[in-house]
């Protein structure tokens, strides 16, 4: 197949390209060339900006398109309409954040979606935590209008693994490897859902080959996973003596812990609409071939990748050790009623 990838050089995009190439497909990249332009030297690269500068796509045809970086509906509309007659199939990478609420377990693809007024969505030029999901809903609609019956909507949860620029997952194996007493928000039995970027990528390419369409939830694994399970697996991989101290997430919030300091994965009790955000029904995806590698393999490969980064390279999610010690001391000294 001839596959056009919009983006293709950052995290999920680069893994999708690798998976497509490994399966013998001919890949073309369309992006601005601003992120990792040295990747894939033997792959055709078309330069442009998906917001108004799509001329490089003129006169070309592809069997399939993968859109890895669509967030604003007016921008997604441009690429979808531009390619409607030039490609047979369009895959849009969406998110489980499209759903309106997570106040019940087992969110399915038919669960209610978030809403944003059409005019507000059209005028949006930036994304907030509140608008991210509803804007993705509008993006899905744009793709569906341009490719009726030919649009695959992939809704991942928390994507993890090598080359993750967010460091949301990477922080935890690294922190466990450092050893000692470790601050962890929430409770040991709190449920988690993650998917290895390579599992997601390989499965998505297979769906495209099969011409699948419609929405698919795509997180995992295919068994109940807790935060304690993640830490235990990281401790085994790293041979670490790290011991978690479980700290109430609401207390951390009151101490001013910012998301950039520590990705808590904690769902506050005062936000019941998010209570079951880590309880997503992925049975459709599993039925259609989504498979999961062992958690230990994801942790091992994530640590191996991180070891290739310069030690002084900034981490986007990184609770400073001094700040962590300060919080642990304050937690132990707090008044207990």
- The confidence score (pLDDT) of residue 125 equals 92
- The confidence score (pLDDT) of residue 268 equals 65
* Token pair for 201: 């990528």
Q: Where are the beta strands (DSSP E) in the chain?
A: 2-6, 26-31, 44-47, 64-67, 90-93, 151-156, 158-160, 181-185, 191-192, 194-196, 214-218, 225-226, 243-247
Asked if 273 and 256 sit in the same domain, the reply is yes
Q: What is the mean pLDDT of residues 277-304?
A: 97
- The confidence score (pLDDT) of residue 274 equals 85
Any domain includes 282: no
- The confidence score (pLDDT) of residue 51 equals 95
- The confidence score (pLDDT) of residue 32 equals 95
Higher pLDDT pick, 331 / 319: 331
Where in the sequence is the domain holding 312, given as residue range(s)? 171-192+223-277+294-329
pLDDT in tens, 60-109: 999 999 999 999 999 999 999 999 999 999 999 999 999 999 999 999 99
Asked if 233 and 107 sit in the same domain, the reply is no
Across the chain, mean pLDDT equals: 94
CATH code of the domain in which 19 resides:
3.40.50.720
| pLDDT over threshold 80, residue 271 | no
Q: What is the mean pLDDT of residues 28-36?
A: 95
Any domain includes 175: yes
- The confidence score (pLDDT) of residue 325 equals 96
* Token pair for 121: 């969505």
Confidence of residue 269 (pLDDT cuts 50, 70, 90): low
Asked if 179 and 123 sit in the same domain, the reply is no
Q: Where are the beta strands (DSSP E) in 186-301?
A: 191-192, 194-196, 214-218, 225-226, 243-247
**Rounded to 5 degrees, what are φ and ψ at 34?**
-95, -20
Any domain includes 179: yes
Number of structural domains in the chain = 2
- Give the pTM: 0.96
- The confidence score (pLDDT) of residue 263 equals 62
Any domain includes 320: yes
- The confidence score (pLDDT) of residue 155 equals 98
């Amino acid at each position: 197949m001839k596959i056009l990838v919009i983006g293709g050089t950052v995290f999920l995009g680069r893994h999708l390209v690798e998976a497509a190439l490994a399966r013998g497909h001919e890949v073309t990249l369309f992006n601005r060339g601003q992120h990792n332009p040295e990747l894939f030297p033997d792959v055709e690269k078309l330069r442009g900006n998906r917001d108004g500068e799509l001329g490089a796509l003129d006169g070309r045809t592809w069997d399939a398109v993968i859109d890895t970086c669509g967030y604003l509906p007016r921008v997604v509309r441009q690429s979808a309409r531009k390619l409607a007659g030039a490609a047979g199939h369009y895959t849009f990478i969406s998110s489980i954040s499209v759903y309106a609420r997570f106040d019940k377990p087992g969110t399915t693809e038919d669960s209610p979606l978030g809403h944003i007024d059409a005019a507000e969505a059209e005028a949006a030029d930036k994304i907030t935590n509140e608008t991210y999901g509803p804007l993705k809903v509008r993006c899905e609609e744009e793709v569906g209008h341009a490719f009726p019956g030919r649009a695959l909507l992939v809704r991942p949860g928390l994507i993890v693994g090598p080359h993750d620029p967010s460091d949301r997952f990477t922080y935890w194996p690294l922190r466990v490897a450092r050893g000692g007493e470790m601050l962890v928000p929430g409770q040991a039995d709190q449920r988690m859902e993650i998917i290895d970027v390579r599992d997601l990528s390989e499965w998505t390419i297979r769906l495209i080959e099969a011409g699948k369409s419609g929405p698919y939830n795509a997180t995992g694994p295919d068994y109940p996973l807790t935060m304690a399970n993640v830490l235990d697996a990281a401790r085994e991989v790293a041979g670490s003596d790290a011991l978690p101290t479980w700290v109430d997430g609401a207390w951390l919030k009151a101490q001013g812990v910012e998301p950039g300091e520590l990705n808590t994965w904690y769902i506050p009790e005062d936000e019941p609409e998010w209570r079951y955000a880590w309880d997503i029904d992925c049975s459709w995806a599993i039925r259609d071939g989504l498979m999961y590698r062992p958690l230990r393999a994801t942790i091992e490969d994530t640590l191996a990748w991180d070891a290739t980064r310069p030690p002084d390279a900034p981490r986007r999610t990184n609770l400073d050790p001094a700040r962590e010690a300060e919080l642990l001391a304050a937690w132990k000294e707090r008044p207990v009623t």
